[in-house]
Structure 1
């Protein structure tokens, strides 16, 4: 029996667009704080606000983006979001004060929130149900690759070619994302007919979130607390323990392990269910975090990167797949928005809390105690979803019959 196609023109186009969106995100994530300190005469708190303001805007915009997608369609919201990202990217040359920069970051964050919601929804619809875990795994890989290439490219361009070239490259990536988005050809549906057939929604906060996706999103947010400390402080920690050269390879090893493991983990998710993938992934994440806390050599430091990449890099798209599968097909946009918004909230809170904690206990102790937090996550996952893994498969079958 032939498998339904995964690597269609639409899937390739949306994957490239997602890759470019996340390259620009991580590209600016590491360079703008430096730019704020050196060129805008900002302080450490203001430099931190550059990231916080962006994430707040993304979190606030995602629930509305999910509703807009349901009303006007996925493609119009996607292109509107990519155009917003492109316009914001073109404006980074002009702010000469922290206030102006923070306003621009807020606007940029709105576009990012809309874009990631639209892309996640389109991906979920394009992937055949029988290959959902595999397809979402490759989608997650584009995020991870953006996380690796973005900081490396950003810091290299900034240090060797200056900030003007840095902003130019960022704008070029945003334009390329639009071009990739234009490759997508989604089936056109009558919006008026669709809205007439659907029952009218009540207003309020529940209309902005997909309730079925909240428990698994809280699991992702819990792990996002620890993941934020790795993203934010691993380079500083490497310098602290005398492994500066190894630091530049940390996320490269992370990505290579993902590339090698993704073809297997996604298929196993589809074949055996979520628990077979999630529990080992959490354990790998915990072991990797522990090895990071006791690293005394480049080998151990990079081994921790491999295990964290295999663990969290596999768990994140798997948890998102669960959030999408739990929701009715017509609410996938809202489920995607709910998942990403709650995860970003956990990530942002983690950056803030661990940023304060690390000054008192140091990076090694932070990662050591974070290991126990990851292990606690096993129980969090079990009680919020893991014990109900079987009904998820039944839910997918019901949705297939309904569609």
Structure 2
């Protein structure tokens, strides 16, 4: 009996380590900070600064562009300094720029602060997932990324609703302070858990968690090997492209659902994100396990149909019942697609490539959000919010056609 237990333990290595839990919670706080403010900028810009829809789009795209640049540079910075030093600087920038966001009384300074925030967020959202992906057992990559991804998805769902509620009740200044506090809470949590790694340049007598110590030892030896192999392979950029298409639809929710709810006279439009969160909680771990056993296609096709249906229902919404149905459909689709695409990319990568691959994945999210903010903002300017959501479903149809093409290409080869 003991032999069978030991064999099962070997077959299923530990996932829920102290470092995994801590990094997952830290990721939640970082994305909670992002989502609380990102979803309310449309209300702040149009209500407090007398801005227009194009200014809302610019605030979203400015942040996304600098986040992409920061992610591209983070790999180089990690080579020069330790991960904990780079992460500390990134989190400090994110906290400071969040706290300053309520000060500008005109659009231009706010855009500059959002650009600065993108740098801090880009660093944090690259280093943390890289550390996580390096301590997840390879045999449980889909499951591990699925659970870790809950931090992002829950923040994407709870954050907007929380942000809207806080802003309506207490104002944007309180919201910015709360967002900065979420980032500051990450420092003691990461330090106490032992997740923070001290620089190897310091005197080397201190102890560090075994899994992360091994990562730090291997990194220096693997940097040279990883540079010889390009990450721009089909197995990486094809899932990243699909993620960008999905992120375009999410950009429309972040940028415009608050003002869309005001136009429809739905005072509790933030409930969209709450019901979205509930379905994500249910489907994300299940999607990860299906991926580990059956691969990505069985997850992606039905999930893309759910997102398409959600956009169409949202575009015809006239009451809270239809809004909730749209939220549930979107949660099922979005909560299944994102971890599947990320695990797909990581499964085909070597361990030393995890940092670059995670950077590519999150950059594809920001590319989609940036393109969506600008493109959907233009559509809104010339049509309406309901037409904009209707047309955004086209991107998921393209998503489905790309998957069908991939299946056909694989069978043919």
TM-score by length of 2: 0.83
Report the 3-state secondary structure (helix = DSSP H, G, I; strand = E; otherwise coil) of the residue aligned with 1:247. Answer: coil
Report the 3-state secondary structure (helix = DSSP H, G, I; strand = E; otherwise coil) of the residue aligned with 1:198. Answer: helix
| Partner of residue 187 from structure 1, selected from 213, 222, 230 | 213
Deviation of residue 370 (structure 1)?
3.2
Q: Does residue 198 of the first structure (1) align with residue 245 of the second (2)? A: no
The 1-side partners of 2:339 and 2:376 are apart by 24
Corresponding position of 2:88: 79
Aligned residue runs from structure 1 range 3-402, under 5 A: 3-37=12-46, 39=48, 44-69=53-78, 72-92=81-101, 94-95=103-104, 97-182=106-191, 183=193, 184=195, 185=209, 186-187=212-213, 194-195=220-221, 198-199=224-225, 201=227, 210-211=232-233, 212-242=235-265, 244-245=266-267, 247-383=269-405, 388=410
Paired residues, number: 385
Deviation of residue 333 (structure 1)?
0.5
Report the 3-state secondary structure (helix = DSSP H, G, I; strand = E; otherwise coil) of the residue aligned with 2:269. Answer: helix
* Contact kept in structure 2, 1:257 and 1:310, CA below 8 Å: yes
CA shift in 2, pair 1:100/1:247, >3 Å: closer
**Unaligned runs of at least 5 residues, structure 2:** 1-7, 196-208
The farther-off stretch of 73-82 and 280-289 is 73-82
The farther-off stretch of 329-338 and 350-359 is 350-359
Deviation of residue 71 (structure 1)?
5.6
Deviation of residue 118 (structure 1)?
1.0
CA shift in 2, pair 1:277/1:45, >3 Å: closer
Deviation of residue 58 (structure 1)?
0.2
The farther-off stretch of 318-327 and 34-43 is 34-43
Cα deviation, 1:111-151, whole Å, max 9, x if unaligned, reads 10111111121121122222211221122221122123322
Deviation of residue 337 (structure 1)?
0.9
CA shift in 2, pair 1:361/1:333, >3 Å: same
The 2-side partners of 1:237 and 1:36 are apart by 15
The 1-side partners of 2:135 and 2:408 are apart by 26
The 2-side partners of 1:100 and 1:32 are apart by 14
The 1-side partners of 2:383 and 2:171 are apart by 36
CA shift in 2, pair 1:300/1:387, >3 Å: farther
CA shift in 2, pair 1:299/1:12, >3 Å: same
Deviation of residue 298 (structure 1)?
2.8
* Contact kept in structure 2, 1:33 and 1:47, CA below 8 Å: yes
* Contact kept in structure 1, 2:57 and 2:255, CA below 8 Å: no
Deviation of residue 315 (structure 1)?
0.1
The farther-off stretch of 139-148 and 113-122 is 139-148
Deviation of residue 270 (structure 1)?
1.1
The farther-off stretch of 331-340 and 380-389 is 380-389
